[in-house]
Amino acid sequence: MKMNMKNKMILGGVLLVVFVGLQLNGATGNTVHIILNVLFFTLVVLHLVVNRTVIKNIFKNISKFNKGRLVIYVLLLVAFIGALCSGLVLSELFFGQLNDADATTGHFRHGLATRVMLVMVAAHLISNNKKIKNFFGKRP
């Protein structure tokens, strides 16, 4: 799937808005949170498919790839997987009601993973700020 820069920026913007919406779980409620999670997961997969050339280049030239950016990508991936797994464990859809101790631990892990992810998303945006500035700088 080939996508021009405008559509990549739109995808990134929608991904960011959905991610912020996920952080508002207390205001949106559990049902909306689960719906946003499914949408977020789908958008992340689409984002990875659209940017697959970057991923290929990382594995092709890992010794030449920017180490700081590589750390950001790895930590973002680990946090994403951690948030996804802990969210699935907490989900009453899949596992029913957890006892209080397990739920407390699960919420702590899920919160930690999502906070790390929040920081890594910010770092990801900052590491790509040149592309973002160039895109918006070309607009009249």
Based on the structure, what is the number of domains in the chain? 1
Can you give the pLDDT of all 140 residues of the chain as single tens digits? Answer: 677 888 989 999 999 999 999 988 888 888 888 899 999 999 999 999 998 888 888 888 888 888 888 899 999 999 999 999 888 888 765 666 767 777 788 889 998 999 999 999 999 999 888 888 888 886 55
CA atoms within 13 A on the CB side of 22: 25
pLDDT of residue 4: 87
Distance CA 9, CA 2 (A): 13
Residue 26 tokens read as: 């207390």
- C-alpha closest to that of 65 among 15, 127, 113: 127
pLDDT of residue 98: 67
Span between the terminal Cα atoms of the chain, in Å: 28
What range defines the domain where residue 92 resides?
A: 5-137
